[in-house]
Structure 1
């Protein structure tokens, strides 16, 4: 029968405004008895679960080799999110400060629990904890900081904030943003609505379904950052702006999505061959094409609600671009007489501007 017991560790409860954090030490070999790594994934209903990046085996191996060497030390604290099964019992207080309370952290352990049912999740320190787990050592105490957060939304928010000064994979951040609550850095908050729309495009029906590369859609071949830039411009300066609440940054996501699908579905159909090819073979699915066609959408449909746009006219105009584009072969001939091979356009600000201006001039003329 699996063991069930309680692990008690000395801890300090530190008050940070309305928040409480717990500083303690624990044998790293025991971390996985009560803490799990919540790797990002989508369930059968395409709902986001978890928030961690996949393990990086080479990094773990390097840390493990270091831990097995003489004099190894890991001074940085791991960060854990506890659910409400973990409690703190205060001890007698002393000293001159009221923001640090000594006591005992009480962690229930049930060896029969699956990872997703354990009372703690690693927010920061995945590779270090895995290296300790695999190292040829009897024990290795580590410093840890924990906070209690019953909901994954708060855990995701803390994960992003804790890692905001580190090189987190951008794709991971973009997929987490739509379902993250709490105050975020300005650059992330600005992209949150665009990230929501990107997930809806990728997870739903339509031309982008499964095509956008992300941690939970690894077979996608359209760059997430290119789609985000297209959406972000339209939300703040283009056709989607009309559905945005400027006061709180939210938007009518249903109408935004309808507007996007009404435009991009015929684009994918009219330029079917180019749309079905990966970015290396098509400048339409390449970052430069995604962003440039986003500008075309904004040019043709800005300030007109989705149910009032003359979509027959839009389709006719887009179809008329056929003789002027070189998505998969040939040359681009720009208005100044400049000629470029079809695949020489790159996802740079200059080339995006060049192609966008060229296409916008064609559809507005």
Structure 2
């Protein structure tokens, strides 16, 4: 085979399991799909073939967008199954005294073959590999770990073992985001500001949510009755232009003002607390106002009420009066919601219930805020 038909890289070799050769090395991102096939899951008339899920275009596009955003740190290792057709030549030379020799270094040679016949298969990192192949910078160095096996059963076993590990709790990620100063993918960066506002609402004594929000770092205090995920989702909606209550202070605008966002949240939610004192601060099982559905629905109502309040000379009074008008029609701790037909404790945190409850509250507000003739 001609030299140009091979890819040669520096690697470290060790063994695991039943004397299975394992290699660690780096490749340029664009080389991954040159040496490795993606064994997609499908069935023929008799057997199950492959093991990889379909390409998730939105996931791949999100990674490409991140990779193209500038100089990025991307140390996520790709796992490959390597054909026995690869070769490895051990490096010669003296070894440093006291070397912890877990592996041996050398040159790994991987044949470059046609698609469907390649000398490697992607076990973990399919979406990342596709994104790296499409990124503007084709020479991003990527860590790779490869084990030698042609056995599809071994490939499937490793795929399952890698992917069965429980993903990081979204709440943990959200709480960590404000502490991360580096560039982040768009889907994560969108949660950074709402999570920081959630932190402030939980820590500042002037906030109606002071010490009421349950975060991933909490050890389970009884007073932490508000789910941070629900409140972050509500704040994200408040940030959406053009009608979000906080959108005028959004971070991409020239008038970016996180302090004003916090003050607006305190104004509105303090009025909610004062309007429904018997429902505030209780466990979600005792008050659906503190339930994720109640937080999301009242957060949606905030956009509509604050739109009027912002044009008022007395916004605090406008918010208080708007909430006072709908209060007799709300059933947070007892009764049946007129127009919805739900007992107070039948409300669940499903998208359908959140949407219906939000629409119901906004319709109530629109109807009751009309001037009487």
Scaled by the length of structure 2, what TM-score is found?
A: 0.52
- The residue that corresponds to 1:212 in the other structure is 213
1:178 paired to 2:178? yes
Q: Which runs of 5+ in 2 are unaligned?
A: 1-10, 25-74, 77-99, 105-164, 368-373
Q: After TM superposition, give the deviation of residue 320 of structure 1 in Å.
A: 2.1
Decide whether the 8 Å contact of 1:239 with 1:303 is kept in 2.
no
- The residue that corresponds to 2:234 in the other structure is 230
- The residue that corresponds to 2:272 in the other structure is 267
Decide whether the 8 Å contact of 2:309 with 2:318 is kept in 1.
no
SS of the residue 1:184 aligns to: coil
Counting matched residue pairs gives 222
1:242 to 223, 242, 248: 248
Aligned-partner Cα distance in 1 for 2:273–2:19: 56
Q: After TM superposition, give the deviation of residue 317 of structure 1 in Å.
A: 1.8
Decide whether the 8 Å contact of 2:293 with 2:350 is kept in 1.
yes
SS of the residue 1:315 aligns to: helix
Aligned-partner Cα distance in 1 for 2:352–2:215: 26
Q: What are the superposed Cα offsets for residues 268-301 of structure 1, whole Å, 9 maximum, x if unpaired?
A: 1221121121111111000111011112211111
CA distance 1:243–1:76, change in 2 (3 Å): farther
Give the structure with higher Rg (CA).
2
CA distance 1:239–1:72, change in 2 (3 Å): farther
Q: After TM superposition, give the deviation of residue 207 of structure 1 in Å.
A: 1.5
1:355 paired to 2:363? no
Residue correspondence of structure 1 range 326-345 to structure 2 within 5 A: 326-334=331-339, 338-345=340-347
Decide whether the 8 Å contact of 1:210 with 1:217 is kept in 2.
no
Decide whether the 8 Å contact of 2:271 with 2:319 is kept in 1.
no
Give the superposed CA RMSD. Answer: 3.9
Structure 1 segments of 4 or more deviating over 3 A? 70-73, 139-143, 303-309
Q: What are the superposed Cα offsets for residues 54-76 of structure 1, whole Å, 9 maximum, x if unpaired?
A: xxxxxxxxxxxxx9xx9799x79
Aligned-partner Cα distance in 2 for 1:76–1:193: 41
- The residue that corresponds to 2:326 in the other structure is 321
CA distance 1:272–1:170, change in 2 (3 Å): same
SS of the residue 2:266 aligns to: helix
Decide whether the 8 Å contact of 2:293 with 2:348 is kept in 1.
yes
- The residue that corresponds to 1:258 in the other structure is 263
- The residue that corresponds to 2:289 in the other structure is 284
Aligned-partner Cα distance in 2 for 1:247–1:231: 17
CA distance 1:214–1:245, change in 2 (3 Å): closer
Residue correspondence of structure 1 range 193-212 to structure 2 within 5 A: 193-205=193-205, 206-212=207-213
Q: What are the superposed Cα offsets for residues 187-214 of structure 1, whole Å, 9 maximum, x if unpaired?
A: 1111111111111111112221111111
Residue correspondence of structure 1 range 52-63 to structure 2 within 5 A: none
